[in-house]
């Protein structure tokens, strides 16, 4: 099984001596820390609106 976390690049964990890794960039980046462009925000808003319209539109059409 392949190890995608590159364990050989990391030092062994020592709970008495905890230092942040000097490696940059960090091993993973999550969305809240990432910058967004207005185009990405607009696209997400349009997709959300289409999803809401489909969800409630189908429900109202069946009533």
Within a domain: 23: no
User: How many domains are there within the chain?
Assistant: 1
Q: State which residues form the domain around 46.
A: 37-63
Within a domain: 41: yes
Within a domain: 32: no
pLDDT of amino acid 36: 81
Q: Is the pLDDT of residue 11 over 80?
A: no
Within a domain: 13: no
Within a domain: 60: yes
pLDDT of amino acid 26: 57
From residue 2, give the alpha-carbon distance in Å to each of 5, 7, 29, 33, 48.
9, 11, 21, 28, 37
Q: Which residues of 3-23 are buried (b: 16+ CB within 10 A; e: fewer)?
A: eeeeeeeeeeeeeeeeeeeee
Query: Residue range 20-38: average pLDDT?
Result: 68
Within a domain: 31: no
Within a domain: 62: yes
- Between 5 and 58, name the one with better pLDDT: 58
- Between 40 and 1, name the one with better pLDDT: 40
Within a domain: 61: yes
């Amino acid at each position: 099984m392949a190890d995608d976390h590159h364990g050989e690049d990391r030092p062994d964990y020592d709970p008495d001596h905890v230092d942040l890794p000097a490696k940059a960039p960090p091993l993973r980046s999550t969305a809240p820390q990432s910058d967004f462009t207005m185009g990405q925000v607009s696209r997400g808003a349009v997709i959300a609106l289409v999803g809401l319209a489909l969800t409630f539109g189908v429900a109202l059409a069946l009533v």
